[in-house]
């Protein structure tokens, strides 16, 4: 069986400074993998994750999805299956429910429909009631905004989550809410996988079975804690 995502000699260069941010990287993410990546600030963790998500075009090398290269026209479809979540969620004006309904207005998802029952189940995993849907996005705390952003992603049933320090700015309770959501999503389907970038070694060990390190753009490790 082919990996969900593979990279071959993937690099990312800062063209302005002419520095290599990501050294040639071979990587494979298989179904049911729970991977964490730790490393100091500026080591290349986010650079690697954003390249995997095809948010930033790789300078050289290749990203394969289910064994196949991804054409430019297929990138929106790819991103509906391989979802990137940043440390700072971007929410639109309106209520939480407005934000959760928004993806279904996009061209790639117009054949799908908002599912209140599925969203309610996700809310429960994060300790929220349906009343949360009526809250104004502008009034949410950092933790609430991250939960809303994560549910907006999880309702689409992605194959892979690319989590770029999603709890770094959150208090411990909110962090646990996010972890609970990820665990519930992962447990529901053994074909899923995720990569969690974290500065928190304890969290990295708690949330992964494969622990990698990033240093000066070099990915190494594959130790199982």
Q: What is the pLDDT of residues 191-200, one digit of tens each?
A: 999 999 998 8
For each successive 10 residues of the chain (225 residues), what is the average pLDDT? 89 90 95 95 94 94 95 91 91 96 88 93 93 96 93 95 93 91 94 94 93 94 49
Nearest to 216 by CA among 4, 62, 39: 39
- Name 176's Cβ contacts closer than 8 Å, sequence gap at least 6: none
CA distance readout (Å), 193 to 69, 74, 161, 188, 209: 19, 21, 7, 11, 11
Exposure pattern of 201-221 as b/e (b: 16+ CB <10 Å)?
Answer: eebbeebbebbbbbeebebeb
**Per-residue confidence (pLDDT) for residue 110, from 0 to 100:** 81
Q: Where along the chain do its domains lie? A: 5-219
**Per-residue confidence (pLDDT) for residue 115, from 0 to 100:** 95
SS3 27: strand
| Secondary-structure class of domain 5-219 per CATH | alpha beta
**CA–CA distance, 8 with 24 (Å, rounded to integer):** 8
Alpha-carbon dihedral sign for residues 153, 157, 162, 165: positive
Strands 19-29 and 60-65: unpaired
Contact yes or no for 123/177 (Cβ under 8 A): no
Q: What is the DSSP letter of 95?
A: B
**Per-residue confidence (pLDDT) for residue 225, from 0 to 100:** 39
């Amino acid at each position: 069986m082919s990996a969900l995502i593979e990279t071959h000699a993937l690099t990312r260069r800062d063209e302005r400074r002419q520095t290599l941010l990501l050294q040639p990287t071979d990587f494979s993410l298989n179904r049911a993998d729970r991977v964490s990546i730790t490393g100091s600030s500026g080591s290349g963790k986010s650079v690697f994750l954003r390249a995997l998500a095809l948010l930033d075009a790789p300078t050289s090398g290749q990203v394969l999805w289910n064994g196949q290269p991804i054409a430019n026209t297929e990138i929106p479809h790819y991103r509906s299956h391989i979802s990137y979540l940043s440390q700072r969620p971007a929410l639109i004006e309106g209520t939480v429910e407005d934000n959760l309904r928004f993806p279904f207005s996009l061209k790639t998802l117009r054949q799908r429909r908002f599912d209140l029952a599925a969203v309610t189940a996700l809310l429960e995993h994060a300790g929220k009631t349906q009343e949360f849907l009526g809250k104004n996005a502008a009034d949410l705390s950092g933790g609430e905004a991250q939960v809303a952003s994560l549910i907006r992603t999880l309702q689409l049933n992605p194959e892979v989550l690319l989590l770029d320090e999603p709890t770094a700015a959150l208090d411990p309770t909110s962090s646990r809410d996010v972890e609970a959501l990820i665990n519930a999503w992962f447990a529901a389907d053994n074909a899923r996988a995720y990569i969690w970038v974290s500065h928190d070694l304890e969290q990295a060990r708690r949330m992964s079975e494969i622990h990698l390190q990033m240093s000066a753009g070099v990915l190494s490790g594959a130790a199982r804690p």
